[in-house]
Amino acid sequence: MRELDRPSFASYVQPREMLARGRNMKRWLLTLMLSLLLAGCVLDGFDLPAGYRPAHPGAVAPLADRTVLHARLDPVEGGDVYLRFFSTGPTSYVVEKLTVLPDGEIAALPPAHVRFVPLDADHYALYWQMAAVPEQGYAVVRFADTGRMVALAPPADEAAVIALGGRHGLPATSRITGGFALDATDENRVLAFLAVLAARQDLRATVFSPLADLPPPLRTATLAGLGANVPRLKRADLGDEASAEAFAAYARMRAEDGGGVGHYLVARLAANGWGMAADSALAIREAEAAMRQGVPEAGHVIGAVHYHGLGVPADPVRAYPFARNAAEAGSPAAMALLGLALRDGRGVARNEAEARRWLRRAADAGHAPAHALWADLVLQDQSADGDRAAIEALDAGTAQDDVFAYSLRGFMHEHGRGGPRDLAAATMMFLAAAERGDAYAKFLAGERLRFGQGIAQDIPRGRALLAEAAQAGIADARAALERPDPAPQAVKKGCVEDWCKQALAFTDAYMQDLKLRMRKLRAELRTCPKLENPNLSCSELEAPPPASMSADGSPRVVYFFAYGCAKCAETGAFIKAWSDRRGVFVFRIPAIWGTGVNMEMARAYYALKALGVADALDGKMFEAVRAGRFRSGTVEEFVAFATANGVPESKARAAFGGPMKATLDHARDASRLYPLAAVPALFVNGRYQIGLGLGDAQTLADLDALLDELLAQEAMR
């Protein structure tokens, strides 16, 4: 398989056979904030699960190529929404969606592959699948006179829509954006549901009128948004083959329009064979054209083609200057490629310190595989601090669904790095990597399934994974398939005498009794110590939230805070000092109870973390909030705060305005899954909840003792 951004591991994997397949590309600039404003506009009606596979029966093409439509964003506040349709097939389009906010700021969604499917004589289900995020859905539209398109949003009565979906066998949930999510895989049911919905008389309408062309500033903004995401595209982001081919046709049109970004996009698609036949010569030509037109990041494509030998002889020396220039121009994938070259000494003198620096930059810039590549180098330090840093990096990688992060975390579990050896956790990580296409992980998971190592024995499933790995060229998998299958674990080999069978039966009964007694003892241990301080509370949770305990057996402490919480400033400083002293990693999560300023303060924390200054500026952010300098949670307030503390304006603006939907969703989900009523709040291993009243010195001292006692208690479990 051709891989433009194929990295490799050094520390554990032999042979080095792993596929770089990042997923979950996030929305472009400001789209998380825009979702509330855009509810009811086209492309924001009914989200569908990843397993939905439409056939588009009877799809039609009611719009001419390059049609531009315009609507007001809000009749009171103002603002504008623009759609531009590129015809990419007999019945398909790729559509660009741009928005001008009431304050004049411009934002864009990724291009989407769309088709119009008739519902009745007047209405269409507009199916959409975004090119840079794993999302898909439907909007309901109709066409009026003089070429106008009317987007019909669901009525304000959410209960009626959910009930209507239920009658069609479609479980529906209201989203925070004002639209709905359908748990559906049956296209016929979905279309029938939308047809009935379209017949309602209480749908809210947004009218799009035709325009000759986009205003020039919006054309520029479209290319800027597209260019920022071209290096991050993965095959999974393009959807099914029809969507990938439509996106490739769109890229060629973009290149024909003379834009450097279009050439860059074609270069990436051609190098990887996404939506078109793989063609390295075309990829190099298109990348060179992009560079001539002011897109230096496109040099990454040329560098990767020569470095990995994709359709040409591998030539790392020739690749290096292209990778270096593209990395310095800001390409995250080029940063990762440069890190690999420096790590392995291919095309340039080996320099591990520089390799770490570039891989860290790539990870911070959103290149999913870079988290694991950086962690792989850090693990070579053979230190407790390095192991903790590697775990944090790999957690970030798995949060981006990176296959490498799952694999390397599995090796850490298997080798007892960062915690006790845990074959069960290792096997689960290898299975996760295998499910995401990692051929070598398929071999590892297949062998463990065959032998029941860390998982229930499943010989047929194990052999199937081994066969897939062997087909991908894994020699170890081919050798494993040639060996006979192990005996089923239910047969205790060697015990053929009656006395041996009786001994085994006695041992099994004894172990069952021991397990029961241990469970009883653990239940008795699950109690909070008696507290004398009225400002401190400890309570036991009835059931642990999901993922509340570490798989490797190490204690897991989760700390919820908010910048608007006065007590959280002093408590947060204490928690940082305590975690450093005890060597316990604390998961800091900004509490999110909705949208608005609360959400933007959480965004500020993650922006500071992305900039690498969260620890240094955390206290100052609390001060800024108390002083009213970060009151509304706007990007300008954040930029003013960051630049006043030594952060360049461009980096501050990019960090706060950049895509972080998955990160914020994770924090919001955690705030809901944990029984969180107020902040600051601490949770230990999902068993104990600690709340604080006043944050005086005595309370913090008592908190210190309480945490130590709970951790000691957990160590006995």
Structure tokens at 658: 């950049």
Bridging pattern class, strands 67-72 and 204-211: antiparallel
Q: How far is CA 461 from the centre of its chain?
A: 28
Question: Judging by beta carbons within 10 Å of its beta carbon (0-12, 13-18, 19+), is residue 14 exposed, middle or buried?
Answer: exposed
The pLDDT assigned to 499 comes to 44
Beta partners for 138?
46, 127
Closest CA to 702 of 518, 573, 574, 512: 574
The pLDDT assigned to 594 comes to 64
The pLDDT assigned to 553 comes to 55
The pLDDT assigned to 44 comes to 58
The pLDDT assigned to 671 comes to 79
> What interhelical angle do 403-415 and 368-379 show, nearest 10?
20
Structure tokens at 67: 């049609």
**Would you call 72 helix, strand, or coil by DSSP?**
strand
Q: How far is CA 437 from the centre of its chain?
A: 17
Contact 75, 205 (CB under 8 A): no
Q: Which helix (H) or strand (E) holds 557?
A: strand 557-561
Positive or negative: CA dihedral 275, 276, 278, 280? negative
Contact 45, 154 (CB under 8 A): yes
Separation of alpha carbons 370 and 7, rounded Å:
9
The pLDDT assigned to 93 comes to 94
With a cut of 70, which residues of the chain have pLDDT below it? 1-44, 132-134, 175-178, 490-526, 543-544, 546-554, 594-596, 694-695, 715-717
The pLDDT assigned to 611 comes to 86
Rg (CA), the chain: 28
Question: Judging by beta carbons within 10 Å of its beta carbon (0-12, 13-18, 19+), is residue 628 exposed, middle or buried?
Answer: exposed
Strands of the sheet with 688-692, listed across from one edge? 536-540, 688-692, 681-684, 557-561, 586-590
The pLDDT assigned to 372 comes to 92
Separation of alpha carbons 456 and 459, rounded Å:
10
What DSSP designation does 586 have?
E
Residue-by-residue DSSP string for 75-123:
TTT--EEEEEEEE-SSS-EEEEEEEE-TTS-EEEEEEEEEEEEE-SSSE
Structure tokens at 690: 């600690």
Beta partners for 590?
561
Structure tokens at 569: 């400033």
> In 574-599, which positions are buried (b, 16+ CB within 10 angstroms) versus exposed (e)?
bbbebbeeeebbbebbbbbeebebbb
* Tens digits of residue pLDDT in 477-507: 898 888 888 888 754 444 444 544 554 554 5
